Chains A and B, each alone.
Chain A
Amino acid sequence: MRLPRSGTRILLGGIAALVLLPSGIGWAQVSHIGNLTGDAKRGKELYRRYCIGCHGPRGDGEGENSPWVNPEFPKPRDFTTGVFKCRSTATGQIPLDSDLYEAIGRGLHPTAMPSWFALTRQQRADLVAYVKTFSPRFQKQKPQPVVPIPPEPPVAPDSVNRGRELFQKMECWKCHGQEGRGNGPAASTLTDSKDNPIRPYDFTTGTRFKCGESNSDLFRIFMTGLDGTPMPAFADVLKPEEAWDLVHYLRTLQPKGHK
């Protein structure tokens, strides 16, 4: 008996689905970072080696080490939601591949997520491809345009003073505290999107942030927010020059010469 052509396609598609789905790669997934193309199949091997302990075999952040992560730190990210803190895209959007790539290489400070800069660029690209397979959002949505970062104006006393006023006006102190120590009156009540307690950033502990360490990185955090945490995006509230003022002020709260 000969199957009609369309029937053959359906049959082959069904077989492919049966083969692929149990492997954890429900759909072919790749990542593109510059001239690198990441492959989810290779990424799966790497994930098993490096990431599974915290993020778990299903990518839901429920790895066997998850309950024992230092309580000062946020719980491991649940990749199945497709929600990520460090993005160059607007709040509510999925990140670019390069955002995930940078986060893997940089690590998230101060959390239990270390820098994986020691991995090769290809390995990091492969991991990005595999991490994307955990959430259908990456299949259904396209990353939106990148939040623009205009050139930084010079750091000047006026800019710092304006930033200080904005810190009060925007009520940043409610979470981060008047001195930026992460001990504002609302700090103890904060939870992340999975209702796990989460602490506001303490600016006095260093010069690195969860999503980078440059002034541009801090600017981007204001504009995109840290999705999945109480830190909102201010893109619709702050003008770019105001965001730079805030950056300049917050830098004064940090220890000088700290690395």
Chain B
Amino acid sequence: MNFLTLGKRTITVLGIGSVAAVLGSLVFGALVTSSQPAYAIPAFARKYGLPCSACHEAWPKLNNFGQVFRDNGYQLGNERDAPITQQPTYWPMTVRITPLWHREHNKRVAVDSVPGDATSPLIERHVSTSGFDLSGLDLWTAGTLAKNISFQVLPSSDATGAFHFESAWIRFDNLLGTPWLNLKFGKHELDTPVSEKRFLALTANGGFFQLYHFIPNRSGANPFNVSSFLGIGNNQLGIELMGHSRNSYTRYAFSVLSSNSGQVGLPSNRTYDFYLNVNQAFELPRLGLQRVGGYVYFGRSPTYALTSGGVPIPGTGIGNRSFYRVGAYGIWYVGKFDFSTLYLHGLDNVFLGTGTPSIQPLPAEARGPTWNGGFIETHYTVSPQLILLHRYELIRVSRQALTTTPSDLGNIDAWTIGYRWYPFMHSRAGLAWHQEYSRVRSRKTFQLTPDSPLRDSIGSSLLMGFDFDF
């Protein structure tokens, strides 16, 4: 349940002309948190009698033993993996939720100078809200249906109790008797370089990787309301072919996905996206396990749809144009320190970048936007029961879609710091006391009025709460 402020996502995709939407999203972002499930599964600990710390550096962050277990299809390979070997009453269900207190602060919000009077001039104000709250709820079940057939079903709710299927898949493990062939079918987390579902941050601003979801500023809203790629951090619908060495030092994953960003129902267009991640780990004496890898996500998104009476017909997105995200990463251990470092380069086709249907002319001198970004996330594992967290993330747009757009519009700097303390560590349940502060600065995405200069949007989150699962 990494908190995700919808407003923070949308702010990067809105154009200069969408001031009201930007402001609205800022306020919305300050007031509302939705949840993005994170994975830690006491049901597995109960099944195998291992403490959480066996699989997790600090739950939900996996260590290599946990990675191998996951890569093996939630199997230890000890002839007790199949459900027939468990007590008939064993039910692999996990519940996770976080009662919490949090404070959301936005440095620049346009508010009416006379409350309730929409005609009064807008003025800029700081807006802070705080209070006790709940995260979303995960009802998680996963395990094996039979030896070498694993599954996962994760209905997840937001804080109001509205559920959706975060993931639902079946996996055929060790095909042809080799760990190099495993086939997953359904809605699944991509094999991302650094998992957004298993990291430690929870706040509205820090509870997701900006890079995984970044979409550069559009010059205008697409009139056909067709959905386009929203980020490799989202669970996607499709199939995954995955393979690994016995100790998962060498791994690959290749996914073919419906190009609808994991939304159920017919895809908005009729193409497929592709994702590939390859990585290799190696040991350095005295330092620990190091891992390096590369990844690419590429596909095509629609720019318009067939309409009936002017209304887009679902599932008829056409006029597809391409995009890609590509990068490299390294995960480095130095004793009790570990550093996750990632670089990403992105490009959207000019029609996607300007929000223009491909049957319409492009704005003058329009170009496909490109950007670069990266993050470094540092952990210091004091003990299996205490971990410190720090992350700095930046995104720099290297080419705006329109030459008239300020070159740094949409650039992001995000910073997160926090810690998690686990009062106990055993094989039945998990409890963590979590404290975190995060801050995000988005360049020139705030404009008080159409005549006002563009200024930076700055938001911050403070959160503390009890994160528990059973």
Closest to A52 in B: B51
Interface flag for B54 (CB, 8 Å): yes
Q: Please tell me which one of the listed residues B53, B283, B384 contacts residue A121 in the complex, with CB atoms under 8 A apart.
A: B283
Query: Which residues of chain A (93-138) have a CB below 8 Å from chain B?
Result: 107, 109-112, 114-123
Interface flag for B313 (CB, 8 Å): no
Interface flag for A171 (CB, 8 Å): no
List the B side residues contacting A205 at CB < 8 Å.
79
List the B side residues contacting A116 at CB < 8 Å.
65
List the A side residues contacting B67 at CB < 8 Å.
118
Query: Which residues of chain A (143-157) have a CB below 8 Å from chain B?
Result: none
Query: Which residues of chain A (51-73) have a CB below 8 Å from chain B?
Result: 52-54, 64-65, 68-70
List the A side residues contacting B68 at CB < 8 Å.
117-118
Count of CB-CB pairs between chains A and B under 8 Å:
76
The CA of A131 and the CA of B46, in the complex, are separated in Å by: 25
Chain B 44-75, CB within 8 Å of chain A: the 1/0 string?
00001111011000000000110111000000
Q: Please tell me which one of the listed residues A48, A65, A120 contacts residue B49 in the complex, with CB atoms under 8 A apart.
A: A65
Binds A, one of B127-135, B234-242, B285-293: B285-293
List the B side residues contacting A54 at CB < 8 Å.
49
B177:A114 contact, CB within 8 angstroms? no
B383:A50 contact, CB within 8 angstroms? no
Interface flag for B80 (CB, 8 Å): yes
Interface flag for A92 (CB, 8 Å): no
The CA of A205 and the CA of B78, in the complex, are separated in Å by: 11
B248:A110 contact, CB within 8 angstroms? no
Interface flag for B246 (CB, 8 Å): yes
Q: Tell me the smallest distance from the CB of B290 to a CB of chain A, in Å.
A: 10
Q: Could you say which interface size class chain B belongs to?
A: 20 to 34
Q: Please tell me which one of the listed residues A45, A53, A118 contacts residue B65 in the complex, with CB atoms under 8 A apart.
A: A118
Also in contact, A122 and B49, with CB within 8 A (given A50-B54, A107-B78): no
The CA of A107 and the CA of B65, in the complex, are separated in Å by: 13
Q: Please tell me which one of the listed residues B64, B77, B78, B426 contacts residue A65 in the complex, with CB atoms under 8 A apart.
A: B426
List the A side residues contacting B48 at CB < 8 Å.
112, 114
Closest to B78 in A: A114
Interface flag for A259 (CB, 8 Å): yes
The CA of A123 and the CA of B288, in the complex, are separated in Å by: 8
Q: Tell me the smallest distance from the CB of B22 to a CB of chain A, in Å.
A: 46
B177:A259 contact, CB within 8 angstroms? yes
The CA of A50 and the CA of B53, in the complex, are separated in Å by: 7
Q: Please tell me which one of the listed residues B53, B76, B285 contacts residue A114 in the complex, with CB atoms under 8 A apart.
A: B76
A53:B427 contact, CB within 8 angstroms? yes
List the B side residues contacting A115 at CB < 8 Å.
76-78
Interface flag for A206 (CB, 8 Å): yes
Q: Tell me the smallest distance from the CB of A182 to a CB of chain B, in Å.
A: 14
Interface flag for B247 (CB, 8 Å): yes
Q: Tell me the smallest distance from the CB of B283 to a CB of chain A, in Å.
A: 5
Interface flag for A2 (CB, 8 Å): no
B76:A120 contact, CB within 8 angstroms? no
Chain B 245-278, CB within 8 Å of chain A: the 1/0 string?
0111000000000000000000000000000000
How would you classify the secondary structure of chain A's contact residues: helix, strand, loop or mixed?
loop
The CA of A219 and the CA of B123, in the complex, are separated in Å by: 85
A120:B51 contact, CB within 8 angstroms? no
Q: Tell me the smallest distance from the CB of B184 to a CB of chain A, in Å.
A: 20
A45:B383 contact, CB within 8 angstroms? yes
List the B side residues contacting A49 at CB < 8 Å.
51, 53-54, 384
List the B side residues contacting A119 at CB < 8 Å.
64-65
List the A side residues contacting B283 at CB < 8 Å.
120-122
The CA of A120 and the CA of B64, in the complex, are separated in Å by: 9
Closest to B57 in A: A49
B177:A118 contact, CB within 8 angstroms? no
Closest to A50 in B: B54
Most B CB within 10 A of own CB, among A120, A123, A206: A120
A69:B76 contact, CB within 8 angstroms? no
Closest to A116 in B: B65
B49:A110 contact, CB within 8 angstroms? no
Also in contact, A112 and B49, with CB within 8 A (given A50-B54, A70-B80): yes
Q: Please tell me which one of the listed residues B49, B79, B246, B384 contacts residue A109 in the complex, with CB atoms under 8 A apart.
A: B79
The CA of A68 and the CA of B383, in the complex, are separated in Å by: 25
Q: Tell me the smallest distance from the CB of A38 to a CB of chain B, in Å.
A: 12
Closest to A257 in B: B177
The CA of A68 and the CA of B47, in the complex, are separated in Å by: 11
List the A side residues contacting B286 at CB < 8 Å.
122
B384:A120 contact, CB within 8 angstroms? no
A53:B50 contact, CB within 8 angstroms? yes
A120:B65 contact, CB within 8 angstroms? no
A48:B384 contact, CB within 8 angstroms? yes
Chain A 206-219, CB within 8 Å of chain B: the 1/0 string?
10000000000000
Residues in A lying within 8 Å of B, measured CB to CB: 45, 48-50, 52-54, 64-65, 68-70, 107, 109-112, 114-123, 205-206, 259
Report the 3 A-B pairs with minimum CB-CB distance, sorted nearest first: A118-B68, A118-B65, A53-B51
Instruction: Give 20 CB contacts A-B under 8 Å.
Output: A50-B54, A53-B49, A53-B426, A54-B49, A65-B50, A65-B427, A68-B49, A70-B80, A110-B80, A112-B49, A114-B50, A114-B76, A116-B65, A117-B247, A118-B64, A119-B64, A119-B65, A120-B64, A122-B288, A206-B79
Residues in B lying within 8 Å of A, measured CB to CB: 48-51, 53-54, 64-65, 67-69, 76-80, 177, 246-248, 283, 285-286, 288-289, 383-384, 426-427
Known: A49-B384, A50-B51, A111-B78. 20 other contacts (CB 8 A): A48-B53, A48-B384, A49-B53, A53-B50, A53-B51, A53-B54, A53-B427, A64-B426, A65-B50, A65-B51, A70-B49, A107-B78, A110-B78, A112-B49, A115-B77, A118-B68, A118-B247, A119-B64, A122-B283, A122-B285
